[in-house]
Amino acid sequence: AIDPKFEENRDVAEQHEGHRVWGPVDEPEQLGIHGTHVAVDFDICIADGACLEDCPVDVFEWTDTLDHPESEIKADPAKEEQCIDCMLCVDVCPVDAIDVDPG
Ligand code: SF4
Ligand code: F3S
Ligand code: ZN
């Protein structure tokens, strides 16, 4: 499961589509955690898609991650600023790849 304390335990490695990527990043095998308010651990995501289907405000978009061992697309929190903290995505992800921190 995603580490809920990733902000303490990781450093920002880069930016992607306007959000932070928390490292370590070593492409294509290791991709880190995308987003902060809505955070998706790309190294855990298996592209189940429930988060994209269920988010009421369409926070997530697919992004290509060719040659990643778990899946070659990931749910990117492209519009994390739109999140209304309903926690549906956290509940439906079968591999607990998502952390939402209403902060
Ligand atoms: Fe979407 Fe709700 Fe998840 Fe926020 S908590 S990203 S609104 S499903
Ligand atoms: Fe990935 Fe979980 Fe969404 S596996 S696609 S973050 S439901
Ligand atoms: Zn991203």
**Using CA positions, which residue lies closest to atom 3 of ligand 1?**
89
pLDDT in tens, 14-71: 999 999 999 999 999 999 999 999 999 999 999 999 999 999 999 999 999 999 999 9
Instruction: Confirm whether the ipTM is greater than 0.90.
Output: yes
**Using CA positions, which residue lies closest to atom 8 of ligand 1?**
55
pLDDT of 72 > 80? The answer is yes
* 3-class DSSP string for the chain: CCCCCHHHHCCEEEEECCEEEECCCECCCECCEECCCEEEECCCCCCCCHHHHHCCCCCCEEEECCCCCCCCEEEECCCHHHCCCCCHHHHHCCCCCEEECCC
d(CA 39, ligand 3 centre) in Å? 9
Fold of 6-100: Alpha-Beta Plaits (3.30.70)
Give the pLDDT confidence score for residue 39 in this predicted structure: 98
Tell which atom from ligand 2 comes closest to the C-alpha of 96.
2
